[in-house]
Amino acid sequence: MESPIQEYLESLLADVQRLRGGEPYRVHPLGREPNPEDFGICLATVDGRVYSVGVADQEFSIQSISKPFSYGLALADYGFDAVDEKVDVEPSGDPFNQISLAPVTGRPPNAMVNAGALAVASMIRGGGGKSAVRRIVDTYSRFAGRDLSSSRSVFDVEIRHSDRNHALAYLLSSVEVIENDPSRALENYLRQCSVQVTCRDLAMMAATLANGGTQPVSGEQVFEIDVVERVLSVMMTSGMYDDAGAWVSSVGMPAKSGVGGGTLAVLPGQAGLAVFSPPLDGHGNSVRGLETCRRVSKDMEMHFVRAA
Ligand code: GLN
């Protein structure tokens, strides 16, 4: 017999599928146009159960959903003080690629906007025989519970469309927030954005955050609880860019979106939710992703006020 959760997700998928509007991200390798009709929803619980409907196992680019995981890796590597010195923890309400640096210090407002993510990417070093990118991809893989990889062809088109991120990286270097080669920071950031994930992977990654940093299936502690606490706090206030206020009001879960069409939301102590649907609104958030999270939050009482 089908579980009530499975049944609920199936009817939700059918319902939200009807929602129109939005445009998929335009930057992609030739012949890999995103299909606006692709739509999947996955819910993973902290005890390792996964419910999935629709397009759950097709890979797409993680894009900005990489930011909280790299932020956590930098915090684990260097400690809070060293990272905070470079990147603040204040909501900016800015679009993701805003040239938003504090006057004088040039400190980016948070690690969820590109300026902050570039600063974080510049901090992550190789070690133990692994390059910085390898360490980043390995970290995401431990969250997902399977080996992920960064797509070369996605990276190649991303770097050709990166004038703004290039400018940001050099600006950050001019104020010494980035202390090493800014073009290397940009490259590492775009390689992390090009990591390929499925909706199921994102749900497992979210469930790992919900589970205090321990992957529900492998049992591996990937991040310490204090790192998870910080990452989720910044996601709560800044994960949805300039839509963050509306998001917290209507969904009330720490979340992160990416222009690849993924959306990830976390209910601490309980579950991770992931949605894949490429059409994006003007903020770069997935239209169906947003609506799905709103509906799930309401129907399953996942808003932090109700879930408490
Ligand atoms: N590659 C994109 C960029 O930095 C990622 C943005 C996003 O997912 N919002 O421009």
Q: What is the pLDDT of residue 307?
A: 83
Q: Which ligand 1 atom minimizes the distance to the CA of 158?
A: 1
Q: Which domains does the chain have, with CATH numbers?
A: 4-62+196-307 (3.40.710.10), 64-193 (3.40.710.10)
User: In the prediction, which pLDDT does 101 show?
Assistant: 73
Q: What is the pLDDT of residue 106?
A: 84
Reference 35, options 53, 52, 17; nearest CA is 17
At a CB cut-off of 8 Å and minimum separation 6, what does 191 contact?
A: 133, 136, 150, 155
Does the C-beta of 131 come closer than 6 Å to ligand 1?
Answer: no
CA of 194 to the centre of ligand 1 (A): 10
Tokens of 138: 């390995």
The response to whether residue 45 sits with its C-beta less than 6 Å from ligand 1 reads no
Q: What is the pLDDT of residue 144?
A: 98
Residue 259 in contact with ligand 1 by CB distance below 6 A = yes
Q: Which residues are annotated as a binding site for substrate?
A: 64, 114, 158, 165, 189, 241, 259
* Ligand 1 neighbourhood includes 258 CB (under 6 angstroms): yes
Longest Cα separation, the chain: 62
Contacts of 80 (CB under 8 A, 6+ apart): 226, 230
Nearest CA to ligand 1 atom 2: 63
> By alpha-carbon position, which residue is closest to atom 4 of ligand 1?
114
CA of 119 to the centre of ligand 1 (A): 15
- 124 DSSP assignment: -
Q: Which positions ≥6 away from 200 have C-beta within 8 Å?
A: 42, 44, 50, 52, 56, 57, 274
Residue with tokens 């709103």: 294
Amino acid at the residue 140: Y
Q: Which two tokens stand for residue 41?
A: 């929803």
pLDDT of the residue at 272: 97
Helix, strand, coil % in the chain, rounded to nearest 5 = 45, 15, 40
Give the global pTM.
0.96
Number of residues assigned to the chain: 308
Which of 26, 60, 61, 64, when mutated, tests ligand 1's pocket best, judged by the most ligand atoms within 8 Å of its CB?
64
Residue 239's identity, in one-letter code, is G
What is residue 149's predicted lDDT score, i.e. its pLDDT?
98
> For residues 34 and 58, is the Cβ–Cβ distance under 8 A?
no
Distance from residue 260's CA to the centre of ligand 1 (Å): 8
Q: Are 42 and 292 in contact (CB under 8 A)?
A: no
CA of 242 to the centre of ligand 1 (A): 14
Binding residues: 64, 114, 158, 165, 189, 241, 259
Count of Cβ atoms closer than 10 Å to residue 204 Cβ: 24
> What is the number of alpha carbons within 13 Å of residue 91 lying toward its C-beta?
17
CA 196 – CA 198 distance, rounded (Å): 7
CA of 221 to the centre of ligand 1 (A): 28
pLDDT for residue 102: 72
Structure tokens, 5: 């959760």
Residue 183: count other Cβ atoms within 10 Å of its Cβ: 13
Q: Whose CA is nearest to atom 6 of ligand 1?
A: 64
Question: According to the model, what pLDDT value does residue 305 have?
Answer: 86
ipTM > 0.90, yes or no: yes
Q: pLDDT tens, position by position, for the chain (308 residues)?
A: 679 999 999 999 999 999 999 999 999 998 899 999 999 999 999 999 999 999 999 999 999 999 999 999 999 999 999 999 999 999 877 766 677 677 767 899 999 999 999 999 999 999 999 999 999 999 999 999 999 999 999 999 999 999 999 999 999 999 999 999 999 999 999 999 999 999 999 999 999 999 999 999 999 999 999 999 999 999 999 988 767 788 889 999 999 999 999 999 999 999 999 999 999 999 899 999 999 999 999 999 889 888 87
98 lines ligand 1 (CB under 6 A): no
- Please report, as a single letter, which amino acid is at residue 205: M
**161 CA closest ligand 1 atom index:** 10
3-state secondary structure of 271: strand
Residue 154 in tokens: 């996605």
**If you search the block for the tokens 């109700």, which residue do you land on?**
306
CA 73 – CA 280 distance, rounded (Å): 28
Confirm or reject: Cβ of 284 under 6 Å from ligand 1: yes
Q: Where are the alpha helices (DSSP H) in the chain?
A: 4-17, 66-78, 80-86, 114-123, 132-144, 152-160, 163-174, 182-193, 199-210, 225-238, 244-250, 287-299, 304-307
Amino acid at 109: P
